[in-house]
C-alpha cells in the first residue's frame, strides 16, 4: 500500500457525498492520523469549490485519510465507508445531488483495489439495491479550500452540522 512521510502511515481516499459529513465521521475513527477534504476524479487542474459544485469539472468531493496501519486496517476503513453513506444511490447523498457527490473508492495500489472489490461484494449483502460505488485508481488529489477543512469541528452550530452531521454521527455511534 502507498506509504506517506511517516513510514507507519498509509493513504486512503473516499468519496461518499458531502465531504464535510465524511470528514467528520473519519476524524472520529481510532487510528486515523489526519483527514483532508478535497477533490479527485475530474479533468480540471486545481478546481475551485464552485467549479466542482457545478458538476462541470468532473471531480468528486473526497476525503483523503492518512491512517496508522498498526492501529487500523484499510479493510476496517472500508467498513466505515460503507456504513457512513448510501452506496446504492447514483450521484446523490441525501439532499445533495450531482456527480460531485458520487460514491467512490479511489485506490492507491492494487492491494487497495482488490480489498475494495472484496469489501464491496460483502457490503452488497446488506443492501437490497445494487451498490453503484465506483472503484478507480486514485488521480491527483486537490485539497479543498481552507474553510472546508475540519468543517464540522469548527462550525458545530451551523444548521447543516446540527441537522445532517450530528444525526449521522449518532447513528454510527460516534456522536
DSSP 7-61: TTEEEEEEEES-HHHHHHHHTTSTTEEEEEEEEESSSSSS--HHHHHHT-S-PEE
According to DSSP, residue 145 is labeled P
18 part of the active site = yes
The single residue of 18, 53, 83, 161 carrying the catalytic annotation is 18
**For residue 19, which phi and psi values (nearest 5 degrees)?**
-65, -20
> Which are the catalytic amino acids?
18
Amino acid at each position: 500500500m502507498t506509504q506517506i512521510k511517516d513510514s507507519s502511515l498509509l493513504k486512503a481516499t473516499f468519496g461518499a457525498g458531502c465531504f464535510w459529513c465524511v470528514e467528520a465521521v473519519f476524524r472520529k475513527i481510532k487510528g486515523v492520523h489526519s483527514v483532508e477534504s478535497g477533490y479527485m476524479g475530474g479533468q480540471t487542474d486545481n478546481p475551485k469549490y464552485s467549479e466542482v459544485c457545478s458538476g462541470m469539472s468532473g471531480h468528486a468531493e473526497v476525503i483523503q485519510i492518512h491512517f496508522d496501519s498498526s492501529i487500523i486496517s484499510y479493510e476496517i476503513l472500508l467498513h466505515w465507508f460503507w456504513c457512513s453513506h448510501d452506496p446504492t444511490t447514483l450521484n446523490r447523498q441525501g439532499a445533495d445531488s450531482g456527480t460531485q457527490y458520487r460514491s467512490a473508492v479511489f485506490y492507491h495500489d492494487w492491494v487497495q483495489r482488490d480489498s475494495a472489490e472484496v469489501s464491496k461484494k460483502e457490503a452488497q449483502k446488506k443492501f437490497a439495491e445494487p451498490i453503484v460505488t465506483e472503484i478507480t485508481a486514485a488521480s491527483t488529489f486537490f485539497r479543498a479550500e481552507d474553510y472546508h477543512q475540519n468543517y464540522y469541528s469548527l462550525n458545530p452550530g451551523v444548521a447543516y452540522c446540527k441537522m445532517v452531521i450530528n444525526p449521522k454521527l449518532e447513528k454510527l455511534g460516534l456522536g
